[in-house]
Chains A and B, each alone.
Chain A
């Protein structure tokens, strides 16, 4: 199978949250999101309010996937940045290290130039953080260590119980 499971531990999660929080402040933006290329939200920061972040993640990933495919169609490797301008709010979307998607939502208190600048720096830091995550996973694999996850213990009962409530 192509991609194994992606595992995010507390330590890396905190590092990533810190980078996002700094980016939000430095770029004067409203919200920042980190999303994996399959549409699952990894982390976010800012005043989310009642924004539907799950839909945002899925639509963003669809958008990036379609744009990547378009790029390849005309012989480009990728279009690394997508930017949408609205009347009040704007979205800046970029792919970090070919792996994850960084989304910044900003209004007139910031500018595309500033966002671009700050995203560049945050991207380098995020890329390092993800390298560490990947290395960690590989080291564990190479060492043959069996990590004690709660999932080795999943029983058939656990699975059945998920489907036992009334709606299912």
Chain B
């Protein structure tokens, strides 16, 4: 749910990084945090287990600049990818404005990608969202590893609509900002549409 505050002249949008466990969701946020200017970002909050698996969520507030005199603030969240954390994943999706799916390109993780993607569709539906309409980008991560599927193979299985597809190596930052940009653009474009309609 986009929150427009005329008093403080801010637009707040929520973007959620979804995907299978160990796919690189937290690494995306970590890279954005490490490389953005101090005045753009807030604290990166990670509710994680002792082995650095996301337990509830990571959260990073990021200010991208101003649009029409309003500060555009994006609240980036990751979900815990491990299958048994589904109840938490569902909570994080509430009020989402845009979703990034971080897929793991490794051959052995294809089933995990598919399971997580169908879990995303289900959980969006349970909140009343129409997956075909929500701002969405597909990131193909871990392109640097040896036993990975080709982009064509991954696309064949994972494309759901006309989403932008970005190849990434998250720890190196390859594709990280491109992905954020791809989804943020759609969120702002939606805002224009809904402003005209309400």
Contact = CB atoms under 8 A, between A and B. Distances in A.
Interface of A: 1-10, 13-14, 36-40, 42, 52, 54-55, 58-59, 62, 65-66, 69, 140-141, 146-147, 149-154, 158-159, 161-163, 165, 167-168
B94 A65 contact: yes
B64 A163 contact: yes
B61 A54 contact: yes
28 contacts: A1-B134, A3-B1, A5-B4, A5-B191, A5-B194, A10-B7, A37-B94, A38-B94, A38-B95, A55-B43, A55-B45, A58-B45, A59-B59, A62-B56, A62-B57, A66-B88, A147-B195, A152-B195, A154-B67, A154-B188, A158-B68, A162-B65, A162-B67, A162-B184, A163-B177, A163-B181, A168-B177, A168-B180
A159 B67 contact: yes
Contact of B130 (A1, A13, A161): A1
Contacts of A52: 42-43
B65 A161 contact: yes
A69 B42 contact: no
Nearest to B187: A159
Given A141-B198, A151-B192, A168-B177, A5 B3 contact: yes
A159 B188 contact: yes
Given A52-B43, A66-B88, A159-B67, A3 B95 contact: yes
| Top 5 A-B pairs, shortest CB-CB distance | A38-B95, A151-B195, A2-B128, A13-B7, A150-B68
A120 to B, nearest CB: 26
Given A159-B188, A168-B177, A1 B129 contact: yes
B151 interface: no
A52 B65 CA distance: 20
Interface string B58-76: 0101001101111010010
B7 A167 contact: no
Contacts of B61: 54, 58
Contacts of B35: 167
A59 B67 contact: no
Interface of chain B, main secondary structure: mixed
A100 B196 CA distance: 27
Given A7-B4, A13-B5, 14 more contacts: A1-B133, A2-B127, A7-B6, A8-B7, A10-B6, A13-B6, A14-B7, A38-B14, A54-B43, A149-B195, A151-B192, A162-B72, A167-B35, A167-B36
B1 A6 contact: yes
A158 B184 CA distance: 12
B113 to A, nearest CB: 25
A8 to B, nearest CB: 5
B191 A154 contact: yes
Given A10-B6, A38-B94, A146-B196, A4 B1 contact: yes
A38 B91 contact: no
Contacts of A167: 35-37, 40, 177
Interface in B1-41: 1-8, 11-12, 14, 35-37, 40
Contact of A168 (B64, B75, B129, B134): B64
B189 interface: yes
B2 to A, nearest CB: 4
